[in-house]
Amino acid sequence: MDSKKELNNIFTELLKRYDINDDIITQNWNELIKYYASKKRYYHNITHIHNAIAALSAHKDTVDAWDVILFASFYHDIIYNTNPLFSYNNEKKSAELFMTRYVEYVPYELCGKVYSYILATESHTLTNNESLNLFIDADMSILGQDKYIYNKYTHLIRQEYKNVPDFLYRTGRVNVLQTFLSKPTIFLTESFTSLEERARENIMTELNKLNNESKIFS
């Protein structure tokens, strides 16, 4: 089964648990795909959503908010504007879009949790909610993949920001990477600690490359 079909099945089963009718399910799925299939999406597309849910599925039995995690996984990057003037509130807009689509059908308390999960992907900081920490770790698990996958990821991210001049992109990217390295740990849960060392190596390698490029063009 291809990833898109698998995700459609998960999405459909999720919404049916809240008695959402087939027409709304189809409408919301088509909207989801429209956003994630944008030609401007190189990394933050439906493959990213599939990978995040796949990483989380291995821990399904250990979380107490599986539906919250699924909703947040599907919607946390639905709005992804890379224009520096507007990208600062991608998470908030994504959370608001989710609320608009589901507050009529899903219990308000659950909607509120999804909203907070989506907002948490902005800072990726430790919380007192282990399920939320696991969700954040899955979203960031790309950092701890092998060198080939990580390099491909950095290329795709640059493609998403191709409208940003090199010197501005390097500055912004260096700031993001240094923020990760400044944390006591990048990953927040024991489930993902095995990725910590490789993530730091990947980030240091990318930082060195970006810093060398800055010297060449300065």
Residue 71: name the closest of 95, 91, 54 by CA. 95
Helices then strands, each counted (H, E), the chain = 10, 0
pTM over 0.75: yes
pLDDT at residue number 88: 78
Sequence-ordered list of residues with C-beta below 8 angstroms from that of 191, at least 6 positions apart, any chain: 58, 59, 62, 134, 137
pLDDT at residue number 217: 54
Q: What is the DSSP string of 49-74?
A: HHHHHHHHHTTGGG-S-HHHHHHHHH
Q: Which domains does the chain have, with CATH numbers?
A: 3-217 (1.10.1300.10)
pLDDT at residue number 114: 98
What is the Cα–Cα distance from 146 to 178, expressed in whole angstroms?
Answer: 20
Amino acid at 10: I
Give tens-digit pLDDT for 85-143. 667 799 999 999 999 999 999 999 999 999 999 999 998 999 999 999 999 999 999 99
Q: Judge whether residue 50 has pLDDT over 60.
A: yes
Give tens-digit pLDDT for 145-180. 999 999 999 999 999 999 999 999 999 999 999 999
pLDDT at residue number 212: 87
Q: Judge whether residue 215 has pLDDT over 80.
A: no
